[in-house]
Structure 1
Amino acid sequence: MKKKKVGLPQPPITSIFLGNLEEFEKDHKQHEKLVEWHEKYGSTFGMLQGAHRVIVTSDMNILNEVFVKQFHTFQARMIHPSFVVDQVNGRQLTLFFSQGNQWKRLRALFASSLTISKIKSVEPIMEKAHDELYQVFKKNENKVIDVIPNILDMTFAFISRSALGINEEFGKSEYLHKIVNILGPEETSKSLISSFFAGTWDFLSITKHFQILQFLTVFREAFKLRDNIIKAITERENEPLTSTRRRDFLDFLREAQEEDFDTTNKPDLDMKIPKKITRDELIGASMAYLFGGADTTATLINYCLYEFTIHPECEEIILQEIDDYIKNEDDINYNNVKNLEFLDRFIKETGRLHPFAYLYVIFAFFYNQNIKIPLCL
């Protein structure tokens, strides 16, 4: 495919190797930088993140094309340019990183594996995590406390226990500490290894073989977590059928496991859509639960609490709605919570106002004869 210039405005290139990435990530204020560039260059502009050629837009017509008219074309997410991930042939891809038929297949498999009845089966785990959070708040009654770390402890307790059966003491999770370190890495320009991968993204077919270098960065913790997940999967594979252990999401996904399908065989993937996931994909899915579940959920809850403080009238409506459907602790279940329609709308509107994962959104290729444009919205 030939590349054609589209004449978009863009910030001046500040680094031959990193493009605009150093300026974009400075002091971890990416959102403020996007707003600044939007005001200066308009609703649609280009930028370079390492070797990633990116278009940023708030144009409603383009958004309508991406999310509605041509949604079938946009089947993958943009990943950070320093991540050495082969989104086409990677063996342990998740929904966050996969694309094309593989993305469609994984989404369908996960949706069928995690049915409502199976989600309901982990309600006791959720209730225990909520009760532990309540006890923390009760101990600090009438005191001013920072609720953010406590809420993160609660969401991670639920995710880790329900996804992998990890039972750590509430508020003292070693897993959570490692994940926080991974999710909050230093600026790319301050890491020689990350800068190398970001600047050589066009040569991914070669640089992907140097993934071992990432073990020297904060991602070494991710490799350790992966080993722990493999151990947990192996233990489940070897446990007797008479085991009385409480089943979790990992067990549900294992029911959809297939050992012999080769996801690197592109013709096979295109012509035969397998109805089970591979062991490598199972490992990747478990990693995605730990990394993608706890922090995003905690962030959304924190934003909801913030909106309560500036919109007390909404809080009153929600409290009344809860009183109408939930009379005591025994009434706190999936069906009754589903009836809280105003709360549901409030949460969705909060997520719209405060997009907590705006840097990890759609990455796609827009094809128009001889034009290929990576698109980040």
Structure 2
Amino acid sequence: MDMILISMCLTTLLAFLFLKPLLIKRANKTNLNPPPSPWRFPIIGNLHQLSLNPHRSLHSLSLHYGPLMLLHYGRVPILVVSSAEYAHEVMKTHDIKFSNRPKSRVAEKLFNGGRDLALAPYGEYWRQFKSICAMNLLSNKTVRSFGNIREEEINGMMGKLEKANSSSSPVNLSEILMTLTNDVMTRVVLGRKYSSEEGGKNSKNIVRRLMELMGAFPIGEYIPSLAWIDKIRGFDKKLERVKNEIQSFLEKVVEEHVDADENRSDFTDMLLSIQNDKTTPIELDKTALKNLLLDMLFGGASTTFTLIEWTMTELMRHPECMKKLQDEIRSVSKNSSYVSEKEVVHMNYLNFVIKEVLRLHPSGPLIPRLLSEDVKMKGYDIAGGTQVLINVWAIQRDISTWGADAEEFRPERHLDSLVDFQGKNFKYFPFGSGRRQCPGIGFALALAELTIANLVNQFDWRVKIGPFGDDKPDLAEANGIDVCRKFPLIVYPHSNLFSM
């Protein structure tokens, strides 16, 4: 009997010693205060509550559960930020803890393990990449040096539109703008245009497919047990095909530059020069070089195209704003046939229009971050490893900061506003904020402002009437990481040079 009692005591003691850490951990967990969460299903979590436009469905959920809420995409915790107050906490107060990007199978595949500027973990490697791009492509001085390329491509576009005007033909303005932004970016980054390569394997098609895949939703990413669905629906094959097309395209570009006899000064040449310079502390292998090229095409062409496309859409929907902008351009510009970059800087209303478009239609409506360590934020406990989505689309339409007309396009609201594109005010940051802010603001705005000024100055625009008698462009959004128009903008340009 004594032996049984002794054995039971020893067993109890050993069990307590073994379970004590687990009990303490569970007790600590119960004392945590996580952000509000909607009820979720087993396995799929809150995935059933997402729509094809996640920024909209997340906004609707935030109206019920609050501006900081915790969702679960399958097994993955997702923190959704939907107010300026919490955006300040993430991108200012705790910015360094939120400075990583979430890893995804698509990004890892397309960008060779995420060894690029957009996706690389925050640290020395990322800082070196950012320095390379800032010094060799994105500085104000370098952006100005590419002015002749912007002028040549915009003049070429205007010539196409003038032909359509002469024949009273409709044009696919979306396609024309996509070609323009791609041609400018490829000339600057790759040295020449690649928009008409054979077999459809050109820069324009590659960037579009890349953007679609980056905005796709692979089920296996969040529910590994259902990864087979991605294979059955052909997603895995499409991902592999696009990856091979991208690598083949970039390999061709690099080979052309290595074999070229003449000295050129595009971004690819600059990167090759850095790669060959053994005195520089930056190690830039071939994979990293191609990733940087893809970053610039991906980040520069598509997002700038989206900005110009939505600007023309909103101006056609609001003819009074179009007229006001035309009046400003004509009062500033001395040349009726072409608006110069020097003239654009004096156009305040143009600046207001672009600010308002980026408020309503940010190119990246959801800004992704990854929390690197546990943090307590405004009384809530958030675990390290949590993915974060900052819903800039919702924040920039918040009626508590923008007023009851927050959903309306009204450029005049920026007349006395101090907000700018630098992300210092957390009610407006279309290019992001903090350490991971988009470094290409100046490049994008230079092309967008000049293009819009010339399109509005030289032409009046009439929308092709739809089957229901619509006389204004719709606002339907496409799916993808950059939210452009769902349907192309089909319009009639009418030259107004002789009516000025």
For Structure 1 versus Structure 2, the TM-score category normalised by the shorter chain is 0.7 to 0.9
Matches within 5 A, 1:185-264: 185=213, 194-200=218-224, 216-240=237-261, 243=262, 246-257=264-275
Q: Secondary structure at the match of 1:218?
A: helix
* Residues in 1 aligned to 2:351 and 2:268: alpha-carbon distance in whole angstroms: 27
Q: Name the residue aligned to 1:181.
A: 209
2:237 alignment partner AA: L
Q: Name the residue aligned to 2:59.
A: 35
Q: Name the residue aligned to 1:85.
A: 108
Q: 1:355 aligns with which of 353, 362, 371?
A: 362
* Residues in 2 aligned to 1:84 and 1:170: alpha-carbon distance in whole angstroms: 26
Q: Name the residue aligned to 2:127.
A: 104
Q: 1:376 aligns with which of 382, 389, 393?
A: 389
Q: Please tell me whether residue 57 in structure 1 is matched to residue 84 in structure 2.
A: no
* Residues in 1 aligned to 2:344 and 2:282: alpha-carbon distance in whole angstroms: 32
Q: Please tell me whether residue 7 in structure 1 is matched to residue 25 in structure 2.
A: no
> Percent of pairs identical after alignment?
21
Q: Please tell me whether residue 94 in structure 1 is matched to residue 116 in structure 2.
A: yes
Q: 1:17-70 CA deviation, whole Å, 9 max, x = no partner?
A: x5334652x4x2223311221223222212223443111122333211222233
- Contact 2:369/2:387 (8 A) holds in 1: no
Q: 1:186 to 1:160 in 2, by over 3 A?
A: closer
Q: 1:101-144 CA deviation, whole Å, 9 max, x = no partner?
A: 23333222211112344333433332232233223322332455
1:158 alignment partner AA: V
Q: Secondary structure at the match of 1:76?
A: coil
- Contact 1:150/1:171 (8 A) holds in 2: no
- Contact 1:83/1:197 (8 A) holds in 2: no
- Contact 1:109/1:277 (8 A) holds in 2: no
* Residues in 2 aligned to 1:54 and 1:334: alpha-carbon distance in whole angstroms: 43
- Contact 1:159/1:294 (8 A) holds in 2: yes
1:179 alignment partner AA: V
Matches within 5 A, 1:80-159: 81-83=104-106, 85=108, 93-101=115-123, 102-114=125-137, 115-141=139-165, 142-159=168-185
Quote how far apart the aligned CAs of 1:229 are: 1.1
Q: Please tell me whether residue 279 in structure 1 is matched to residue 286 in structure 2.
A: yes
Quote how far apart the aligned CAs of 1:200 are: 4.4
Quote how far apart the aligned CAs of 1:325 are: 4.3
- TM-score, length basis structure 1: 0.75
Q: Name the residue aligned to 1:206.
A: none
2:119 alignment partner AA: F
Q: Secondary structure at the match of 2:239?
A: coil
Q: Please tell me whether residue 294 in structure 1 is matched to residue 301 in structure 2.
A: yes
Quote how far apart the aligned CAs of 1:221 are: 1.6
Quote how far apart the aligned CAs of 1:214 are: 7.9
Quote how far apart the aligned CAs of 1:260 are: 7.3
Quote how far apart the aligned CAs of 1:178 are: 3.4
Q: 1:159-211 CA deviation, whole Å, 9 max, x = no partner?
A: 2232213434669964222332332249967xxxx33344349xxxxxxxxxx
Q: 1:288 to 1:316 in 2, by over 3 A?
A: same
* Residues in 2 aligned to 1:164 and 1:44: alpha-carbon distance in whole angstroms: 42
* Residues in 2 aligned to 1:167 and 1:374: alpha-carbon distance in whole angstroms: 38
Unaligned runs of 5+ in 2: 1-24, 226-233, 391-500
- TM-score, length basis structure 2: 0.58
- Contact 1:43/1:59 (8 A) holds in 2: yes
1:308 alignment partner AA: L
1:113 alignment partner AA: N
1:98 alignment partner AA: A
Q: Secondary structure at the match of 1:220?
A: helix
Quote how far apart the aligned CAs of 1:6 are: 3.7
Q: 1:260 to 1:280 in 2, by over 3 A?
A: farther
* Residues in 1 aligned to 2:100 and 2:190: alpha-carbon distance in whole angstroms: 26
Quote how far apart the aligned CAs of 1:312 are: 4.0
* Residues in 2 aligned to 1:58 and 1:322: alpha-carbon distance in whole angstroms: 36
Q: Which moved more, 1:142-151 or 1:331-340?
A: 331-340
Quote how far apart the aligned CAs of 1:305 are: 1.4
2:62 alignment partner AA: H
Q: Secondary structure at the match of 2:275?
A: coil
Q: Which moved more, 1:284-293 or 1:336-345?
A: 336-345
Q: Secondary structure at the match of 1:53?
A: strand
Unaligned runs of 5+ in 1: 202-212, 262-272
Q: 1:187 to 1:221 in 2, by over 3 A?
A: closer
Q: Secondary structure at the match of 1:9?
A: coil
* Residues in 2 aligned to 1:38 and 1:314: alpha-carbon distance in whole angstroms: 32
Q: 1:296-328 CA deviation, whole Å, 9 max, x = no partner?
A: 111111221123234444434433443344323
2:117 alignment partner AA: L
Q: 1:29 to 1:254 in 2, by over 3 A?
A: same
Quote how far apart the aligned CAs of 1:148 are: 1.8
2:344 alignment partner AA: V
* Residues in 1 aligned to 2:176 and 2:292: alpha-carbon distance in whole angstroms: 26
Q: Secondary structure at the match of 1:85?
A: helix
* Residues in 1 aligned to 2:88 and 2:369: alpha-carbon distance in whole angstroms: 13
Q: Secondary structure at the match of 1:232?
A: helix
Q: Name the residue aligned to 1:264.
A: none
